[in-house]
Amino acid sequence: MNQAMGLNVPPDGIAALERRTEGWVVGLQLAALSMRGRADLSGFIEAFTGSSHFVLEYLIEEVFNQQPEDVQEFLLKTSILDQLSGPLCDAVTGRTDSRSVLERLEHANLFIIPLDQARAWYRYHHLFADLLHQRLQTLGVISEVELHRFASQWFQQEGFLSEAIRHSLTAQDWERAAELIGSRSTLLLRRGELMTLLGWFKPLPEETIRSSLHLCRDYGWALMLTGQLDATAPYLDCAERLSQENEAQLGQIMVAQAYPARVRGDYPGAIALSKRALELVAKEDILHRGLVTFTLGFSLFSAGHMTEAEPALMKACETALASGNDFARMTALSLLAAIQKNQGRLHRAAEFCQQVMGEARGSPMAAHAQVFLASVFYEWNDLDAASGQLAQALKASQSIGNFAIQPDIYRTLTRVHLARGDYASASESAG
């Protein structure tokens, strides 16, 4: 068809068009008719949907208008759904026979595709879905907002919270969306699903977020943990104002405020906030106590207060283990190793390094511990052991793509070569 009509569509354009039409022959023919005489073929292919002129006309006249009124209404109402099931369609349309309607549509080859062998779930052909959704918006007879609310309610009842949130956001049902997001936000923070969480928060009006302590706190954390420190402060400040009557909640906010202070290098500020937070956070709140104990220990270490830092970091190891925060635990152990070495307790430093290597096997933290352990062996003048640790660390860094550690590896290796009097190798590793 490309050759016969002289369209000169490149192979990648043909592949893209086939994906958009999902192999629908008539759709390809209609696309070809639409492309004749166009200069920007790639732009057309990119924008080719069920609302394109020829496709729209064909689908309305040859498909949609041929259906009984009740089926037309069913098609329009369910056009808001990415996937279709009998119970879901019942909830959205108000019918009780949606499963049989879906089966009839499939038997009639009406642009509906089964998604499983049991025929429990379907979806519309993409071009047909485009047409139906555009038709729904053009006619304006059925409230799209109400349809999304019905879908959100069904997904929530069935335990599909992500879909429930998506539909409530689309419906701009902010109160419901905020309630649903609030029920999941802390869990997503703990899982590290930050981009999903930010995607949920982004459409919410500012007044909706700022009216909830819970949302302000968790949005602040999500922004903070994605490096958006400047955007964090207004939400944490708002959360602080909302938590004045609850000391435990105020303590949680101070835990969050201490984090950016530490990251920015404001160690006195981080230390003060952390100590105050520990006074307020409930004893049974292991998660927040673990976070703030780590922040306190790290800040004390970075500020050079080693005597205070050591017990704080030991406590951070305990609470991190209890709360399942592996990163905080490994970092605290590594800092403890540094304290021991600085105070001349090399055997104790080696023990902490070996603990990290055992618990964080295969991670970047383990490679850092190996480099540090090599420096301990260097202090003992056990140069073979030091070289062995550095070789393992280099191999590990290459296998996991942790190239940031390699300057430390080569710097320590240079010292080992110099201690041996091997100046040629020292020059090579330094270069």
pLDDT of residue 399: 82
End-to-end CA distance of the chain: 61
Provide block-wise average pLDDT over 10 residues at a time, the chain (431 residues).
46 58 50 48 49 52 75 93 96 95 86 86 85 85 91 95 95 94 90 90 96 95 89 94 92 94 94 96 90 94 93 92 84 92 94 90 84 94 94 87 85 94 87 68
Place of tokens 């070809």: 32
**Residue 75 and residue 132 in contact, taking contact as beta carbons nearer than 8 Å:** yes
pLDDT of residue 36: 47
The answer to whether the Cα torsion of 153, 159, 163, 169 is positive or negative is positive
0.75 exceeded by pTM: no
| 3-state class (DSSP) for residue 285 | coil
Distance separating alpha carbons of residues 235 and 232, to the nearest angstrom: 6
Distance separating alpha carbons of residues 393 and 265, to the nearest angstrom: 29
Q: For the chain, which residues make up each domain, given as ranges? A: 11-87+97-145, 344-431
**Residue 210 and residue 229 in contact, taking contact as beta carbons nearer than 8 Å:** no
Distance separating alpha carbons of residues 45 and 33, to the nearest angstrom: 12
What length is written for the chain? Answer: 431
Q: How many Cβ atoms from other residues are within 10 Å of residue 276's Cβ?
A: 17
